[in-house]
Amino acid sequence: MFALESEQITKKQFHEAYMIAHQIMAELENDFKGFQKKIMYCFNKINAKAQKNHQKPQNKTNFEKSKQIKPKQNNQTKNHQQQKKN
């Protein structure tokens, strides 16, 4: 109702969402066990994927990688440093 009152959605969008929600509630009432089975299937898939991703070693960020790599000096810098020594 807030989205409608704050004009984030139109009356038509609100009505469509209301009708879809009403249909879902009716289907849930008729076949709760079926919905529960589908929901648990999805939950288990998501949970398994989350655990799989949690067990993988974390990749280092580009910032962490850049701290480990020492910058290469270009030839001009090396030549300049050698000239100072001479």
**Which amino acid, 41?**
Y
Model pLDDT for residues 19-62, shown as the tens digit of each residue: 999 999 999 999 999 999 999 999 999 999 999 888 766 565 66
Residue 33 lies in a domain: yes
Model pLDDT for residues 61-75, shown as the tens digit of each residue: 665 555 555 555 555
Residue 15 lies in a domain: yes
The confidence band for 76, taking pLDDT boundaries of 50, 70 and 90, is low
Domain count, the chain: 1
Q: What are 41-47's contacts with CB under 8 Å, separation 24+?
A: none
Q: Average pLDDT of 74-79?
A: 58
Residue 76 lies in a domain: no
Q: What is the reported pLDDT for 80?
A: 59
Residue 23 lies in a domain: yes
DSSP code, position 31: -
Q: What is the reported pLDDT for 21?
A: 96
